[in-house]
């Protein structure tokens, strides 16, 4: 993925959601140099998370150069832990639209599949017609799931729906 350095962590959250094909249905957080960022929700009783507001933090203020790593956690129950690596800093291309996905290896696990372990079980079920949950899991996935396939055009189409300011973005 390529993103501009002047976007917020809140914007990056949406980039990741669209890139993964997820629906922003769960809590998330970024951890950068031991500080947690996310969407504070004191009205819902999540004060104990002590998240700093991701919408007020620009990437350029919290990350450094090439090789910098930080983490993104999505769905605290399923615990999708991601390591984000800044591979390089590039000059913006004239006329280019950001964010953009330039490369992907596999399809994203479906939302709510149970984390790494549930995803493995899901793949076992859909790939074996003899599996007792084969039909049920295929139906749950919409009738078809190809774990090796990713549609970069679809990902980039979704990324184009993001405005620079995602403060009120609902997906």
What's the pLDDT band for 167 if we cut at 50, 70, 90? confident
Mean predicted lDDT score pLDDT of the chain: 91
Q: Are residues 68 and 119 in the same domain?
A: no
Q: Are residues 69 and 136 in the same domain?
A: no
51 vs 89: CA distance, rounded Å: 27
pLDDT, position 81: 96
165 inside domain: no
Residue 11 burial class via C-beta count within 10 angstroms: exposed 0-12, middle 13-18, buried 19 and up: buried
Q: Are residues 113 and 51 in the same domain?
A: no
Q: Are residues 34 and 84 in the same domain?
A: yes
What's the pLDDT band for 166 if we cut at 50, 70, 90? confident
**pLDDT exceeds 70 at position 159:** yes
When pLDDT is averaged across residues 67-75 and rounded to a whole number, the result is 97
167 inside domain: no
Nearest Cα neighbor of 169 from 37, 15, 49 is 15
1 inside domain: no
Domain that holds residue 118: 106-149
Lowest mean pLDDT among 46-50, 78-82, 95-99: 46-50
What's the pLDDT band for 163 if we cut at 50, 70, 90? confident
Give me the half-sphere count of Cα atoms (radius 13 Å) on the Cβ side of residue 35: 10
Q: Are residues 55 and 121 in the same domain?
A: no
In this prediction the pTM is: 0.91
Percent of the chain with pLDDT over 70: 95
37 inside domain: yes
125 inside domain: yes
pLDDT, tens digit, 9 for 90 and up, residues 33-69: 999 999 887 666 656 667 899 999 999 999 988 999 9
Number of domains in the chain: 2
pLDDT, tens digit, 9 for 90 and up, residues 10-41: 999 999 999 999 999 999 999 999 999 998 87
77 inside domain: yes
Q: Are residues 22 and 48 in the same domain?
A: yes
pLDDT, position 139: 96
Contact 82/71 with Cβ under 8 angstroms?
A: yes
pLDDT, position 122: 97
CATH code at position 69: 3.10.290.30
Q: Are residues 43 and 95 in the same domain?
A: yes
**pLDDT exceeds 90 at position 115:** yes
Q: Are residues 27 and 83 in the same domain?
A: yes
Q: Are residues 30 and 85 in the same domain?
A: yes
């Amino acid at each position: 993925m390529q993103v501009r350095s002047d976007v917020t962590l809140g914007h990056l959250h949406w980039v990741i959601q669209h890139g993964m094909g997820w629906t922003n249905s769960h809590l998330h957080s970024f951890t950068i140099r031991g500080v947690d960022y996310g969407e504070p929700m004191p009205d819902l009783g999540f004060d104990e998370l002590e998240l700093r507001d991701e919408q007020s933090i620009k990437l350029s203020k919290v990350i450094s150069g090439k090789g910098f790593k930080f983490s993104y956690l999505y769905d605290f129950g399923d615990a999708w832990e991601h390591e984000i690596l800044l591979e390089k800093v590039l000059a913006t291309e004239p006329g280019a639209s950001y964010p953009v996905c330039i490369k992907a290896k596999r399809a994203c696990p479906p939302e709510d599949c149970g984390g790494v372990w549930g995803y493995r079980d899901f793949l076992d079920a859909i790939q074996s017609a003899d599996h007792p949950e084969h039909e049920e899991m295929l139906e749950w996935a919409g009738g078809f799931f190809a774990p090796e396939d990713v549609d970069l055009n679809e990902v980039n189409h979704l990324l184009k729906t993001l405005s620079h300011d995602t403060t009120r973005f609902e997906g």
